Amino acid sequence: MSRRTTQRMVIRTPEGVEFGLILAGPVSRFLAWLVDSACLAFAAFVLSALVSALMPFQSDLMAGLFAVTLYALFTGYRIAAEWFLRGQTIGKRLLRLRVIDAQGLRLGFSQIVVRNLLRFVDALPLLYFVGGVLTILSKRSQRLGDLAANTVVVREETFATPNLERTLPGKFNSLKHYPHLAARLRQRVSPEAAKLALHALQRRDSLSPEARVSLFAELADYFKSLMPFPEEATLGVSDENYLRNVVDVVFSERTHAAPPT
């Protein structure tokens, strides 16, 4: 039903449709944990200030309530957050991570409780050593809690429309003279390669001159091998311009086709 490429889990539905989910790595998960821990520390600070103010009236009761509330907060915060925020805590939301069912199904309450109770073991001996090591070693970046609850943590994609106006400033595109070849090129370019070409163009000014020439030569060679165009279309066109033309062919017809976010 599902297979994994590098940091990516692909689920194949019974209808034969594949969709990919990018798995969160140990570093982003640790950062999310740090953010959540900071939130919990802040909540504990506020709570203790509140209790200190009320302590003179009922010191025993207040101390007892404080201890139990703090414990419930530290144990239950992630459970409550992941349930009400549909697989996210504050840290995960900031880092654009989400807990989902490992088979792409709806995340159940029991899965959330089990994965969070298993933290008691994942956190052993300290600072999530067991969980961290397993996240690195496991095929789906799962800690023990994820394995027991059948969950994975994925990175949420953003759907920003690429700023093609700035990247492709309306220059002549010789490849567009061959619409049938341009269509074939669009068909052959993988989403990853298209994105790579776009990013290379967007970041070209931050590259050193040597790196820029070398990178665009390599990318141009790759795209030329994917779909060869007649010599008239490429004669005198630099590698960078060739790549610009490729990105134009792949993306610009879809500027109106931006995802309806």
Which one of 21, 23, 153, 219 is in contact with other proteins (CB under 8 A)?
21
For the window 159-198, what string marks contact with other proteins as x by the rule CB under 8 A?
xxxx--------------------x--xxxxxxx-xx---
Which one of 24, 81, 95, 147 is in contact with other proteins (CB under 8 A)?
147
- Give, in order, the Cα–Cα distances in Å from 151 to each of 94, 143, 147, 200, 228: 20, 9, 7, 35, 44
- Are 252 and 201 spatial neighbours (Cβ–Cβ below 8 Å)? no
The Cα–Cα gap between 23 and 110 comes to 22
Q: Which of 192, 201, 167, 187 is nearest to 250 (CA)?
A: 187
- CB-side neighbour CA atoms (13 Å) of 116: 23
Q: Which C-beta is closer to other proteins: that of 95 or that of 147?
A: 147
Q: Is residue 150 a contact residue for other proteins (CB under 8 A)?
A: yes
For the window 200-229, what string marks contact with other proteins as x by the rule CB under 8 A?
------------------------------
Distance from chain centroid for Cα 24: 6
Q: Which helix (H) or strand (E) holds 5?
A: strand 2-5
- Are 43 and 72 spatial neighbours (Cβ–Cβ below 8 Å)? no
Q: Is residue 71 a contact residue for other proteins (CB under 8 A)?
A: yes
Q: Is residue 56 a contact residue for other proteins (CB under 8 A)?
A: no
Reduced to 3 states (helix: H, G, I; strand: E, B; else coil), residue 228 is coil
Q: Is residue 86 a contact residue for other proteins (CB under 8 A)?
A: yes
Q: What are the residues facing 99 on neighbouring strands?
A: 153
Q: Which C-beta is closer to other proteins: that of 157 or that of 218?
A: 157
Q: What are the residues facing 100 on neighbouring strands?
A: 152
- By CB under 8 A, the count of residues binding other proteins is 70
Q: Is residue 137 a contact residue for other proteins (CB under 8 A)?
A: no
Q: Which C-beta is closer to other proteins: that of 209 or that of 260?
A: 260
Task: Catalog residues that contact other proteins under the rule CB under 8 A.
Answer: 11, 13-21, 59-61, 63-68, 71, 75, 86, 100-106, 108-111, 113-114, 117-121, 144, 147-150, 157, 159-162, 183, 186-192, 194-195, 250-251, 253-254, 256-261
